[in-house]
Every structure is written in C-alpha cells, then in structure tokens.
Structure 1
Amino acid sequence: MARFARSLALLVTAVTIPIAAASPAAADPGLAPLGPDFEWGVATAGFQVEGPPPDSNWARYVAAGKTHDPYGSGPDFRHRYAEDIANAAAMGVDTFRFSVEWARVQPAPGVWDESEFAYYDDVVRQIRDRGMRPMITLDHFVFPGWVVDRGGWTTDETIDLWLVNAERVVARYAHLGATWITFNEPTVFVQKELTFGGISPTDAPAMLDRLVRAHRAAYDLIHRLDPDARVSSNVSYIPAAMGAVDAVFTDRVRDRLDFVGLDYYYGVSVDNLTAAAARSDAFYDIRPQPDGIYHAAMHFTQRYPELPVFVVENGMPLDDGNPRPDGYTRSDHLRDHVYWLQRAKADGANVVGYDYWSIIDNYEWGGYRNRFGLYTVDVLTDPTLTRRPTDAVASYRDVIAAEGVPAGYRPVMPDSVCSLVNPPTSCRGPAGGSPGS
C-alpha cells in the first residue's frame, strides 16, 4: 500500500495545471434525464451467487484455504433466482446480468449437463417474461477443474476449449435479445489468477494474449449465431492507469466491440488516496468518488469515439452490512453516480446503460465482508438466506422511473480536488467547471 501511495504522490507532483479548491458539489438546474432508451440494470455472477460450486479453479482456491471465508451455502441463486429476478423487475430495470458457468454446464471433457442448462433456460425465460433483457457473461473468472488440470490459461488449448463452450451457450440463447459479455474484466482475471496461484508472473502476458484471441473469435462467433446482438468485454477502470490497461486489452479488440463495458468503483484524487485499500480487498474502506465516473466515461468517449459506453458494474460495498462511519448511504452513492453520468452525457459521452453491482450480496472473491447488494443476504449467519432490501431499492426504483436524478439535484459527496481518474484533464474538473460555481 505504501508503494501505491508513493506512486500516486509522484503522479500528483507531476500534474502542473491549476487545482481548484475543494467545495461541495453544486446543484445543476439544467440537468437533463438520461432518456427513455437508456438501459437500467442489475448484475450477478454465477460462482459468486449460485451456491456450492462444481469443480473449478475457484472451488479449488476455496478448498485449499486460499480465501478469507469458506464458501458455505452461498446466496443460493441456483434455487432462488425467481425471487431475485422478480425483485429486479419490481425496481423497473431493463437488463439482468448473470453468467452461464462453464464448470456447471461442462463438468467433464465432452460431457454437457442438460439439467444445468435447463436451469439457465429458466433463468433466461423468467428474465424475458418479466420484460427484461438478459446480459449473459460467458466467463466471470471461473473455468472447470478439468481445464485447470490441462494447464488452464497457460495453454493455447484452452482457447479452443473455451470457444466450444461459448458456441454451445450462444447457440442455445441466440435470437432472445441477449447482450453478450465475453470476459469479465480481463486484466483483473489475470491478476486474480496470479494472486491465487493459477499462473506465474511469466505466464501473465501470454494469458492476456489468449484472452484477446478468444474474445476476437467469440465476437465473430456470436455475430454469426446471433447477428443482432451486442457484444463486449467489460473493463475494470483503474484510476490514473487506464492508458496502460487499455493498451493490453481494449485497444487490441476495439474493432471487435459493440460498446465499451465500463466497471467503475473508486477514484483517486489529491484529497482522496483511500483507493490504496483496494490492494487488500478492503473496498469498504475506500471513500467513494462519484465524480470519477464522469471522467471515466469521458476517457472512453475520447479514446473510442465510435463506441457507446455502458456501465456494466458500479456499486458501493459496506463493511459486513454496517453503515459507513461517514454516514454516506447506498442511496447517496447511487444517486450521486447517476448524476455524474447525466453530466457526462450532457458533455458528449454516449452513455447508454447502467448496471448496479449487485442485486444481492455475494461471495466477493474470497469472502462475504464486502456487501454490495441492493438486497442484503447474510450467508454466514442466516440459514434462511432472506433477501432484505436496503435503502437503495426504493431509490433505484425512483431513479429509473424519473430516468435519472432531477434537475437541481445536489450530490451528497463533494467534488474531488484534482481528480486523477483521467489525468491530466480530470484534474481541471468536468467540462465547463462545476455547475453554479
């Protein structure tokens, strides 16, 4: 963490443009709604929510004691998906994101589990019957144990094996209006495999190369089988480092993207270096920086002007469900980020959608302490796994109905001082400065 903070300090020192003083975020009397075509959604991922997993790389990491918490029952989306889909629909969302887990549907080489496909069939059916669009992720960090035994993403064979699964899944759900995500956060996927021992440091560049090749092939495959579908691979936005992150993946697949998938969780600025807590997965200790989503959207708009931007993930964790010490609520977080998306759209960003991560609390890649859910689920102490609505459920329903926050909304979180989300331009603040300033 100290090295991370020193690096940020050096970057701050290098910025030589005027820095405005900190001030409360101003209301914007002319703020326009995001419009009737804007897509609102919620998100999940198979391993994180479905319940006791089949053999996979992540099931093995948990079994080997490499994680903070045991998996236990998980939130049991596998058997309670109807309730979660109904809760999403009741908020008025347009899109429900989930993943079809390769390890579930192909538990052994050449073996396809039709009972698990039947489960996903019903997930898709219920999403569509309730008026929502499926957003289907083909790979959310997880692959079968038998693929691990063959070398995982250290071998070219995995590209071919992965594409066989992709074709089976896409063919099954083609022509149902789905949006497709090939790989969730490819650079983070590589980082997780490094952290948990799936690959060695020398394997990392080759794994990224293989993910690029697999995505490019999957894009063509999906458009052959499901011609009208939209396809992307969502990227984790790393403040002050996106040029390097873009170079290793998104730049290499930009001609095989129908939109940029943006995952934004935290920012960095002269007055907020708490993002260092991400190094230890203590995301609940990070002070949210909502204005950073504006700069992230503008970064992608400027770098990939031909592509619309869809926020595939955004959310706020609470420490085991407890209120934040500063009193900032999930409703505040949601409305503040939507406000900044409205500002970004007004300033020229082609922002077309927003998924909240997540519909329920889940297994956050090693533990249950980071609680992101619109509905909270206490996996470790509540055997009933009751879904309890947080304050943000009603807030999200109101935001969706109004197509954003109203004109005159004043963000709860003050503007950052010299944002480094997209330096150096973000240090100057939003285009035209703060409204009303």
Structure 2
Amino acid sequence: MTHFPKEFLLGASTAAHQVEGNNTNSDCWAMEHMEHTSYVEPSLDAVDHYNRYEEDIKLMAEAGLNAYRFSLEWARIEPEEGVFSKEAVEHYRSVIRCCRKYGVEPVVTLHHFSSPIWLISKGGWEAETTIDDFARYTRYVIEKLGDEINYICTINEANMGLQITAIAERYKRQMMAQMAKAQETAGKDDADGTVQVGINLQKMMEEQKEAAEENKKVFGVEKVANFTSVRSVESDILVMKAHQAAKEVIRELAPQIQVGLTLSLHDMQAVQAGGEPFAEEEWENEFTHYLPYIQNDDFLGVQNYTRSLFGPEGGMPSPEGAELTQMNYEVYPEALEHVIRKVAENFKGTLLVTENGIATDDDSRRVAFIEKALEGVQNCIQDGIPVKGYFHWSLLDNFEWQKGYSMTFGLIAVDRSTQTRIPKKSLTYLGSFR
C-alpha cells in the first residue's frame, strides 16, 4: 500500500438534505410529501446528522481521515427570500469548528441539489433572478463564515441537469415505441443507472400531468425547475453564471478561499468501432463546454462512479455479466483514473476527487473498489497530475434522493430506528492510506 502525502486531503462527503433530516423549507422536502411524488419515501429525520455531526466527524478522525466535504443548506440559511437565519449559520460554524477540533479540514459546498421553496416559486433554475439570489446567499455565508473556510465548492454537479435531460429524451423515445417488446424494454431498461444520482425516471415521466397540477398548489408554478429537473440549454448556462457570480463574491470578501465547482463525469469509452464520435460528443456535453466558465477556478471537483460505453449506434449497455451496483452502475473503479487523466488534458488547475464510491451491501466490495480507485489516483499523482484530495461517497448510508434509503453508499451504516452508527471496515481501510 502506498500512502498519500501528509498534505493530501483524504476524506468523505455528504450532502445536507441527505443526512441532516427535517429540511422542511427545501423543494426536496416539499416534493417528498406530494401525493404524486417520484420519491419512494420521505427523508424525515434522515440520519440526524444535524444533531450528531460531532459523533460522525470524530469517527472519521479516529479512522485516519483528515478532510470532510459537506454542504450548507440554503433553505435553512435563507428560509424566506432575503430573510436569513442566524441560528442556521451558527450551526454550520459549529460544524466547521468541530472539524478543526478533530484535525479534519472542512470543504464546504454551498449548493448540493436542494433549494429553498421560495426560489422554485420564482422560476427556480430556469429564472435569471436565481443568479443574483445565489450571489446574495453566498455573500451572507462568506460574511459570516468566510474566515473559517479554506475550500468552497459553489455548486455540486453543475452539469447534472443536462445528464437528466439526455436520459429523459432517451426514455421518451423508448416509450413511443408501440411494439410490446419495446415497451417491455422501456419499463425495465434502467435509464436511471446512466446518471449519477438517485432518480425514478419512469414514475416522473408517467405522472407529469398529475404532478403539474400539484406543483401549482405547492409551488405556485406548473413546471418546477429544481436543480435536478430536465434542463434547457439556457438554464445550463444560467448555472454557470450563478457559479461565476458566487466566485466573484468569494474572491471579493475572502480571497484566501480556494473556490471551484464539481462535475459529474463518466469515463467515456468507445468499445466498438464507430463509437468514437458518440464518446466525444458525450464528453463535450458533460465536460468540455464548461471550460470557459471554470478555467480560472482554483480547483475542479471531479465526481465519478462508472464508465459509459459507445458503439456505432451510440450508447451501449454494460457488458453481459458485469457486476452492477445497487444503482445499476457497472462496478468499474478504473474509471476514476481515466477521467482524471482526461480532465487534466484541458483543466490545468488543482483537482479534487469530491465524490467516488459504490452502492453495495457487501462492504468487502467497497474495500476492493477503494483499493483500485486509490491506486488510480496515485498513478495520476506520480505522473504529475495535481490531484490534491479524494473524498469517498459517502460518509454515511443516507437518503439517496428519489431512491430513498435502499441505496447503501456509506463508510458508516446507520440503524435509523435508533440512529446508531456502525462503522464499516471500509472506513478504517480508507483511513489507512494516510
């Protein structure tokens, strides 16, 4: 085993809505409780990280980890437009200081999928006003906490909307096929497994009409443009502008903070002749076209879980007999090294692996995944690629969005009947690389 340098950030990640519990002012909470919801269950108390964060941070430190990537919840900090919660921001100050207490570097994400209900009622992530709203929220956070933070990810997986749009279009094409066999394939083809977030695409598509009516009652708009909605080209650029606006605020108020965003990236592989143009197009959509908006960032957060395969007709399924995760991703830890190398061809700043992991109930497979993934990271470092950190997804078994609690990504299991933490062998195994 090769150990990472002392200054290397080795840790794990979480997202506020997935772990904190009772995030009642967010769009996700509202959607979980709708009659025509695509969530299989509501988050409720989640894993109560809001109250148990010190226990969780201490477990990380005792295992040998020295960094923790977590998100602030916009809907807690600004529950009403222009109205900020001192209690919420002080809570996050306590989390940051708890990290310092245990020798863990806090890496803060300002937005990880969930948004305030009031933002969605104004048009959400299709509304130009969101750029200024996000900048105002960022300004408040930096004014209050800027001197406590060294690293900020403005937006998690800024490209997620386009990925969801692509698979939604594919699903529509399948559903339009009239042959029984094609319809059966549409029902069973888990298009969800091609996007790196827990969604229930089939139910979303089937209940659009009913959901639109309920949206008007809950949000005041028929089309809810939350962060993980199907996204227009204009909205894709809007997200980048929101990132840039937040970055300007951070550099104005706290220039010592290293700032970037994170992208969800697949290892694009043309495995049959003729697949190369499709792989190149997907990489352009997923990464390259964002370069003008991120080239002056201090770092880029690389998030990878698997690969995408292409042949002469376009995307291909996982190989016959391939091991799949609970999320229907192919188990392919080698993808991380490939993606880091591909990103480094064009992005010359620091790279942080801000998410990488596996949904499985067999922790021995998680250990094997970590071993291979970290071997790839170390190969990249040896070749001079500036990878400065690795954050495993996730610290805790948590709420995987529309998939609920059935997806187990965590280094720590949680008995939700008692909220008891049960560290897995993978936690100490990851820490042993320091």
* Structure 2 CA distance for partners of 1:81 and 1:395, relative to 1, 3 Å: same
Q: Pick from 368, 373, 397: which aligns with 1:361? A: 397
* Structure 2 CA distance for partners of 1:121 and 1:60, relative to 1, 3 Å: same
Structure 1 unaligned residues grouped into runs of 5+: 1-30, 401-437
Q: Find the counterpart in structure 1 of residue 334 from structure 2.
A: 291
CA contact (8 A) 1:170 1:222 kept: yes
Q: Which amino acid aligns with 2:80?
A: A
- Partner SS state of residue 147, structure 2: coil
Equivalent runs, 1:28-177 vs 2, <5 Å: 33-64=3-34, 65-177=37-149
Structure possessing the higher relative contact order (Cα contacts under 8 Å, 6 or more residues apart): 1
Q: Which amino acid aligns with 1:345?
A: I
CA contact (8 A) 1:180 1:232 kept: yes
- The yes-or-no answer on 1:373 pairing with 2:410 is yes
Aligned residues: percent identity? 26
Residue 275 (structure 1) shift: 8.9
Q: Give, in whole Å, the separation in 2 of the partners of 1:153 and 1:269.
A: 30
Aligned length: 356
Q: Pick from 234, 242, 255: which aligns with 2:295? A: 255
Any idea what the Cα deviations from partners look like across 1:235-263, whole Å, max 9, x if unmatched? 111232322212343x1323331112100
Q: Find the counterpart in structure 1 of residue 356 from structure 2.
A: 314
Q: Which amino acid aligns with 2:406?
A: R
Q: Find the counterpart in structure 2 of residue 25 from structure 1.
A: none
CA contact (8 A) 1:41 1:356 kept: yes
Q: Give, in whole Å, the separation in 1 of the partners of 2:43 and 2:140.
A: 28
Equivalent runs, 1:210-225 vs 2, <5 Å: 210-225=238-253
Q: Bigger shift: 83-92 or 64-73? A: 64-73
- The yes-or-no answer on 1:235 pairing with 2:263 is yes
Q: Find the counterpart in structure 2 of residue 199 from structure 1.
A: 225
Q: CA RMSD in A?
A: 2.6
Q: Which amino acid aligns with 2:370?
A: L
Q: Which amino acid aligns with 1:36?
A: K
Q: Find the counterpart in structure 1 of residue 287 from structure 2.
A: 246
Q: Pick from 289, 302, 309: which aligns with 2:345? A: 302
Q: Give, in whole Å, the separation in 1 of the partners of 2:405 and 2:335.
A: 26
Q: Which amino acid aligns with 2:10?
A: W
- The yes-or-no answer on 1:331 pairing with 2:370 is no
Q: Give, in whole Å, the separation in 1 of the partners of 2:300 and 2:160.
A: 16
* Structure 2 CA distance for partners of 1:71 and 1:33, relative to 1, 3 Å: closer
* Structure 2 CA distance for partners of 1:392 and 1:275, relative to 1, 3 Å: farther
Structure 2 unaligned residues grouped into runs of 5+: 169-200, 205-222, 269-281
Q: Give, in whole Å, the separation in 2 of the partners of 1:127 and 1:268.
A: 36
The normalised TM-score by structure 1 is: 0.76
Residue 182 (structure 1) shift: 0.6
CA contact (8 A) 2:11 2:391 kept: yes
Residue 350 (structure 1) shift: 1.8
- The yes-or-no answer on 1:274 pairing with 2:300 is no
Q: Which amino acid aligns with 1:216?
A: Q
The normalised TM-score by structure 2 is: 0.76
Q: Give, in whole Å, the separation in 1 of the partners of 2:161 and 2:129.
A: 18
